[in-house]
Structure 1
Amino acid sequence: MDFNTRIVGVHDYATAKKFLAEIGSSAGGSGVMTPKSLFYTIMAENLSDPAANILKQEMLSKGGECAIHRDALTHKTGRSSVLMMGTVKQFRGAALKLKGQSFKLSQLGQEIVTLLEHLSREGSWEMSCKNGPLTFGERTLVMGILNITPNSFSDGGRFNQMDLALEHAYRMVEEGADIIDVGGESTHPGYQMIATQEEIERIVPVIEALVKKIKVPISIDTYKSEVAERALAAGAGILNDIWGFQFQGDQQGGPKMAQLAAEYDCPVILMHNQNGTAYENLMGEVLLFLRKSIEIAENAGVQPDKIILDPGIGFGKDLDQNLEVMSRLEEFKSLGKPVLLGTSRKGMIGKVLDVPVTERVEGTGATCAIGIAKGVDIVRVHDVKEMARVVKMTDAMVRRN
């Protein structure tokens, strides 16, 4: 045979440049061809029928493709979702033509440009925080879980005494934890909320002791502003909110948490959550929730480069929904923030493997590996030694560029 044909996977600029260099393309040619070698499919939801039709015309005019509702052509749908398909070059060209258009298309064009920037981000960057910084882009970070609770679903009661908690935190740092996440209230499905003062009494002494001994950032896992404030004052450097600054209750969560984060100028982790598992559009609604969380944070004064997102595996989702989110983790890159994945020992793993919580290490490793392959930046885990090895091995394959 005189020739050899094969499919190659081009998922980022670095890989595109590598293939172009392999075939001997010039530097100038590589610069021109790289935006043409990356192909994306972008969904835009809730467009008016006129906007959908104009968008379709502009994508087609640039050589891309655009699918709209069959009745949008005759303006019978009112609102329509649009699926755009094209190269970076085609999307940029269409976005430029949308500038100045009516039906909010000018704004959509800018969103497309921003989305492309998020998808094509290269290199590493730092997020400043106490005992930091956190460096993203070089390797996946490992967050070790320290539950100061008697009823955590996986390790309840094991570390709720001061000496045991500190010993476990030291061990996790030695085993490779880049962050220690301290929690004083178990939030497993069906959990019972505890009093704010009880939560404070559990976590503050531990944080005060930890900051004197370890040299990695400490995060506080809470959705209550009073707990968060006491933890940050005690030395915690990251605020981890399972309600993404949208908790509705009498514990002064929500926007109060955002204001507190801005006051302390600390990184925040904003997780998707909801009561119940009813969705009309799972990924669309999860991303819309997180967009709102980002807006709440930034409006309160949180720096845009200090926001981390969490898809919320195991929260407000049934087994099939959790698995679907896991299979589509790359979509969270759309929001342009680092992504944390928390799957450690969770019920999703137990249901798939039919094993108790004490036998979910392998399943956790699988979720961490697929998460890294799909672009997550931090994994939150109980079994630090084992998962640090999974991370290192997966990074060696995924982050070669």
Structure 2
Amino acid sequence: MRAETQDVVDEIKQAVSLLRRHLDWEPSLKRLDWLNAKAEDASLWDDPTEAQKLMRERQQLEDGITGIRRLESQLSDNLELIELGEAEDDKEIVEEAEKSLKEMRNEVNRLQIESLLSGEADSNDTYLEVHSGAGGTESQDWANMLMRMYSRWAEKHGMKIDVMEVHDGEEAGIKSATLLIKGHNAYGWLKTEAGVHRLVRISPYDSAARRHTSFSSIGVYPVIDDSIQIDINESDCRIDTYRSSGAGGQHVNTTDSAVRITHMPTGIVVQCQQERSQHKNRAKAWDMLRARLYEAELQKREEAANAENASKTAIGWGHQIRSYVLQPYQLVKDLRTGTESTNPQGVLDGDLDDFMEAALAQRVYGGGEEVEDID
């Protein structure tokens, strides 16, 4: 076996060993056996909330154990293929196995990052809010580009996207939008995207073709289930109804079905116009408010551990977490981790995993300082 291939094999073995250790392998196997037996007990569903909690734990353990076993089996199969190819002097078999091992290394590195998603809400669905900054049409177009970017990322990961509300810009783009992204670890992956995102480009809306800098902010809030209790005093909230916005024509709602709830003590505002029914929009808006208040509590805990709450800073200079430069050169740079890409179009099409993985690793392992911004 070539030295380069041996290095890849050693890296995979080490990563699998770390995954086993992180999962706490033997106790997890026993716990899964117990949960499987519990699932066969009809009385489990006498308490639906507890049953859902146990079934969620069961699924997560099953996914983790199955994933590790699959990796170990793939590694063994590829090593056997290399041994067979070398014995028969069949370079094609060896090369195919080596290619598979390199793909495994990428997958196992991703699984290591995913194993870091152990926060109490990391596995939940998530709300993602986009807000344009100052700058009118240019900034609103950038907000729309960000909404598309995160939608593409979610689609690539097999997640479902519901548009809860959109406020269109006057000429183009959007002023704000709220997406509900449903999928395993949706909040865990997206939580590090909260903050201000900066775009530098030649504006398509400027007849003089000058370079413009635009800002938009991203907020990320976990969907909370029945096991998490968030008490809200309704007297602390102001509820407004308004007509849903849209592209026009027969599908525009002609009644005040959209709902906005303002939580007076915190100033948090949520809006929902997804449904034609005001009653349904109101119920979903309350869910969104509970999620926002829960996220605020999570942020307080992070701040106590010296974590920066970037999502509450002003939308403008000095507060951005990532810059996307389209002109005069091509570069996307994360200002927290230093992660870069010279393929902005790929990033805007949803290729965000490298940025998310680096930010998650930094949160867990620490280290690193903010990277100097780019012009």
* Class of the TM-score when normalised by the shorter of the 2 chains: under 0.3
With a CA cutoff of 8 Å and minimum separation of 6, indicate the structure with the bigger relative contact order: 2
* TM-score, normalization by structure 1: 0.26
Q: Judging by fraction of residues, say which structure has more strand.
A: 2
* TM-score, normalization by structure 2: 0.27
